[in-house]
Structure 1
Amino acid sequence: MPIYEYECKQCARTFQALIMKKEDEEALSCPGCGGNQWKRLISRVCFHVSEQDRLSSFDPSARRDDSFYKDSRNIGLEAKKRAQTMGVDLGGGFEEKLEKLRSDPGSVIRDSE
């Protein structure tokens, strides 16, 4: 979808708008002050990386910053990489436990009590 981000030059408010054709952008006004002077911003971009691609590019010896540990997709990545390197199949039980750990970390501790 062509959703663009803008900043109003009059009140400095940031807003988004769905722009389907050029005329939509020409008629655009700030939802805060109603001004029609704005500039288009460069928005953040995100893209999907498959688990397999993440695993193949994972370097267990590399230093990690805090953002690595805040991403729950990284839970178990090192174990999976080691198993892959050694040619070991961890089985479906490991994948189930890993998915549970990623979606609800507390449940793993509760289930072990």
Structure 2
Amino acid sequence: MPLYEFECLECNSQFEKIVPIADAARDVTCPKCSSSKIKKVISAGSHRLSSGSSLSTAGAGCPANSRFR
């Protein structure tokens, strides 16, 4: 099951919860205030590159990608 991040629209707290994909926002309540007024937020952690990463070196060891360097 995936881990989703949520924000409570009542108390503005953010929290994570593991839920089935089909039930991502259904039946989720805020652990701080118990409100059901929540929204799913985009997780920044899955979109970051490490500080040593570079697009020009992606796939550097792969001969099929050598034509793109």
Q: Which residue of 1 aligns with 2:63?
A: none
Q: Which residue of 1 aligns with 2:7?
A: 7
User: How far 1:47 moved relative to its partner?
Assistant: 7.6
The count of corresponding residues between Structure 1 and Structure 2 is 53
The structure whose residues are more often strand, as a share, is 2
The structure whose residues are more often helix, as a share, is 1
CA distance in 1, matches of 2:12, 2:2: 22
Q: Give 5+ residue unaligned stretches, structure 2.
A: 58-69
Q: Give 5+ residue unaligned stretches, structure 1.
A: 58-113
CA distance in 2, matches of 1:11, 1:31: 11
Higher relative contact order (CA 8 A, sep 6+): 2
What is the RMSD of the two structures over their aligned residues, measured on CA atoms? Answer: 2.6
User: How far 1:21 moved relative to its partner?
Assistant: 4.5
* Max Rg structure: 1
Q: Equivalent pairs: percent with the same residue?
A: 28
Pick closer, same or farther for the CA change 1:25–1:46 going to 2, 3 Å. Answer: same
Q: Write the mapping of 1:28-39 to structure 2, written as runs, cut at 5 A.
A: 28-39=28-39
- What TM-score, normalized by structure 2, do the two folds share? 0.60
